[in-house]
Amino acid sequence: MNLIAAEPTAPTRTPNVHPGCANVPRTNGDGFEELCHLVIEEDPDTALCGKDVTGYPWNPPWPRCEACLAVARGEQN
């Protein structure tokens, strides 16, 4: 019986991505993640995505939180 040795496979590695990459929101000097989270009037300290936004500035000029937008559109799973 002839046995053929299987070729070794490369080890699985997690992505080597720097936390300050372009797809990660910055944290400003006040310690706030620079994303504009959406809230409801009944609970203005909790974003639709579940993040505690107590003390966050209102209507900052930051990109909208994609998770909050999905919840607002009813697209969460």
In a domain, 4, yes or no: no
Q: What local confidence, expressed as pLDDT, does residue 18 receive?
A: 60
26-53 burial: b if 16+ Cβ within 10 Å, else e: eeeeeebbebbbebeeeeeeebbbebeb
CA 74/CA 61 separation, integer angstroms:
24
Q: How many domains does the chain have?
A: 1
Q: What local confidence, expressed as pLDDT, does residue 61 receive?
A: 86
In a domain, 16, yes or no: no
Domain that holds residue 72: 28-77
In a domain, 41, yes or no: yes
Q: What local confidence, expressed as pLDDT, does residue 54 receive?
A: 92
pLDDT digits (tens, 9 = 90+) for 17-76: 565 566 667 777 877 788 899 999 999 999 999 999 998 888 888 889 989 999 999 987
Q: What local confidence, expressed as pLDDT, does residue 7 receive?
A: 67
* pLDDT at residue 2 greater than cutoff 90: no
